[in-house]
A and B are shown apart, each in its own frame.
Chain A
Amino acid sequence: METHQLFKKNETYNGFYAMLLVNRLQMLYFFLIMPNILINPYMIWVLIAVGILSHLNLLLLSKWLLTRLSSNGYNGFVQLFGKKLVRFLSFIGLFFILLKLSVITLGYSEIIQTFMLPATDTNFLVFFILLFCFYVAGKGVEHTIRFVLISFFCTFWIITFFIFFFFPPIAHLSDLYPLIPMEWKVENWKAFFLILSSYSGPEFLVFLGPWLKTNNKTFRYLSYGNALTVVEYVFLFIASLLYFGSDFLSKSQYPIVNMARYFQNPVIERTDMIMLSFELFNLVFAVSLFLLLFYGASKIAFGKMSKPSSGKGLLFSAFLIFIGMVLVNELFWKSWEKQTFLLNLQIIAGSIGYFLVPLVVVLVMRKRGG
């Protein structure tokens, strides 16, 4: 039996993979609940505006990816920040990853519990999801990145079904009025940060430098991925406005799933169940990637970089994450008010992470490199 190196680097992936990575990391849990926070039709413009902002972020990201430092992985970061700071930052990063992991996994399992398995405890669902992810992550970073292809093709087609809502009798143009904001409420700021947080995810590409083949076309591919996400978000949001009307939207807990529930098919009655199951591919991809990042970051944070990576270590971090998630589930997620707190925390953490990580990396790089 060969000894498996989780972080070994045999091949690099081209821009197409970078595009898929950006797109799929942005289409995680939040797009399922987003319409019920955005509510107002004029938020379409905010979605697009923040999408453009996200473009600028990707520009910074691509600058970093183009440098020689990024392809050095850990050593590159050490050169940039110094060993101690890298350890400290990794330690903080662990919480960010755990928070993101908890929100997307628990959110997804709760949807599964609501729509498919009402009697099952979400902790079991989390266990099975993590089991899957452990298997994928166990194949190493290379294979996990490659898994994005499967994840993309298993989930992208789902959105095409929603075209159904753009035709009469459901679609009325007046559902999209007023198109410009007449007043700006406090809740709209929450919606703004939610959008920013939904677009977050690509900042994790900062750490995947060694596995990405970069050239002058990298930014183009990254922005294609981002543009695709913006189109998907705007498309889904308009569809939900047409289906629910902006007055009912805030009352629907899972608007996108409820819309999928409305599809009818003579063969499969519950199309939403099939779609939700396919959505699992995307979740498994993202969670596996985060699992590897979590393991890597914990190795750095606890100063174990000299030791080779092992399956046992990964298993241990998966176990830690499982315990963490069960705790978060019991303490926060199951009660509604605390869940909102956790969501708000992730909204803020996601926004800050996405905004700061590429910016800080590039700024420090400029300062050091001159």
Chain B
Amino acid sequence: MRLHKKRCKRLILLFMTFSLSGCAPFTENNLIEEISPITFLSISKGDKGELKVSTIMPPLSKENKVVMSQEVSLLKEGVQKYNLNFYQEMKSGQMRMLVISDELGKDGIMSIINVLLTDPDISSRIYLVIVKGNFEKYMESQLDKDENFDYSFYRMLKHYEVQNQGELTVVNLHEFKNLLYTPYSDPFLPVFKLEEDGVNYEGTALFKDEKLVKTISSIDDRIFQLINNDHYLAVLPIQEFEVVLGHVRSKIKVDIDSSYSTMTYTVNIDTRIEEYRGEKQLFDPKELENMKKDIETHLEKQTHELLKKMQELKVDPLQLGIQTKRPFSKPMEEKKWSEMYEKMDIKIKYDINIDPLTDANSKRQNL
């Protein structure tokens, strides 16, 4: 090559300046002062069947924050309307949460999910959340008290997601999409209720395909965390026996008979008693054994009811259907499975292993 060395170097220098300074021709202008990278979007049903999209602007700078909402028929149209109404351009690269109202959830959210999936700016790690109540009003009331409440909300979800901390359901876009698109499974999302004092976790919303059909809460939700979502609970209070089980870890075993008519669902639990206010002498192995039996029967009954409910609604968030997949045979058709699932006799069996640690109220023997 006869190109002069100096010329070559100049060429490279030119290229470097181009690419490093970000002045490659026709790129998007992402100057931080001129954009507002929103952290969340809240979507609810508008008045005329449209979508109501709201968020807090500006998300970054220390200016006064305002709640902005737009009624649009398409989600991305909302983004465009924001841009026309606000001096900064809206960017979705930092989006962390999508708050969906439960009415919209009942109508189906497939189209919204697809919008998120096709936008390469939006990470598939964003959290999806269902809220009951008017989130927009709630935001307005919160802005005076705590401007960063959106960030705190995000941190909370993040905390429970990492390492599966139990307690609450946390679902990101990727997990939701996988449950939505794979056969033999239905997605679920956490539900939060808006009250005077803040956003309270209510339970888990079960979806039939893209539509919200049922919200499970209290003990049902606890059991759901235990058998599906996290396989771990920090505390499991059982009021009937005045006992609190702590650090509950579960292992699930599912057996389906060859005719697909009966399913045995075995839950192995390792736990310890954290608190007890009843009258039983838990130091006595026999009493402890009785207690264990009682808890087992109680949980079996509760779980059976929960699964019965799921069968009636024809939803399968536990992905029981994948148990029918075999390495060397053709997978069953989804329709056939759902018919079988409805009629299937599900037997629940709990096997609990308890280490008694405290029994503050019991009288000590041999003293």
Chain A residues in the interface with B (C-beta under 8 A): 1, 3-4, 6, 114-115, 117-121, 124, 128, 131-132, 135, 138-140, 169, 172, 174, 176-180, 182, 244-245, 247-248, 251, 258, 261-262, 264, 310-312, 314
Q: Is B4 an interface residue (CB 8 A)?
A: yes
Q: 16 other contacts beyond A120-B24, A177-B331, with CB at 8 A cut-off?
A: A4-B1, A4-B2, A114-B120, A117-B27, A119-B26, A119-B27, A120-B25, A121-B26, A128-B24, A135-B8, A138-B8, A178-B328, A248-B181, A258-B124, A261-B123, A262-B174
| Pair B330/A128 contact, Cβ less than 8 Å | no
Interface residues of B, dominant DSSP? loop
User: Which of B11-19, B53-61, B62-70, B149-157 contacts the other chain?
Assistant: B11-19
Q: Which residues of B contact A248 (CB under 8 A)?
A: 177-178, 181-182
* Cα distance, A138 to B7, chains bound together (Å): 13
| Pair A251/B181 contact, Cβ less than 8 Å | yes
Q: Which residues of B contact A182 (CB under 8 A)?
A: 329-330
Q: Which residues of B contact A311 (CB under 8 A)?
A: 1-3
Q: Is B322 an interface residue (CB 8 A)?
A: yes
* Cα distance, A138 to B124, chains bound together (Å): 42
Chain A: minimal CB distance from B321 (Å): 10
* Cα distance, A176 to B178, chains bound together (Å): 15
Smallest CB gap from B94: residue in A: A269
Q: What is the interface residue range for chain B against chain A?
A: 35 or more
* Cα distance, A135 to B12, chains bound together (Å): 9
Q: Which residues of A contact B177 (CB under 8 A)?
A: 248
| Pair B327/A120 contact, Cβ less than 8 Å | no
Q: Which residues of A contact B178 (CB under 8 A)?
A: 244-245, 248
Q: Which residues of B contact A4 (CB under 8 A)?
A: 1-2
Smallest CB gap from A244: residue in B: B178
Smallest CB gap from A310: residue in B: B2
Smallest CB gap from A119: residue in B: B28
Q: Which residues of B contact A115 (CB under 8 A)?
A: 120
Chain B: minimal CB distance from A286 (Å): 19
Smallest CB gap from A139: residue in B: B1
* Cα distance, A138 to B322, chains bound together (Å): 56
Q: Which residues of A contact B174 (CB under 8 A)?
A: 262
Q: Is B5 an interface residue (CB 8 A)?
A: yes
Which B84-126 residues have a C-beta within 8 angstroms of A? 120, 123-125
Q: Which residues of A contact B78 (CB under 8 A)?
A: none
* Cα distance, A261 to B2, chains bound together (Å): 43
CB within 8 Å for A264 and B125 given contacts A1-B5, A115-B120, A131-B11: yes
| Pair A245/B182 contact, Cβ less than 8 Å | yes
Chain A: minimal CB distance from B15 (Å): 6
* Cα distance, A179 to B331, chains bound together (Å): 11
* Cα distance, A258 to B173, chains bound together (Å): 13
Q: Which residues of B contact A138 (CB under 8 A)?
A: 1, 3, 8
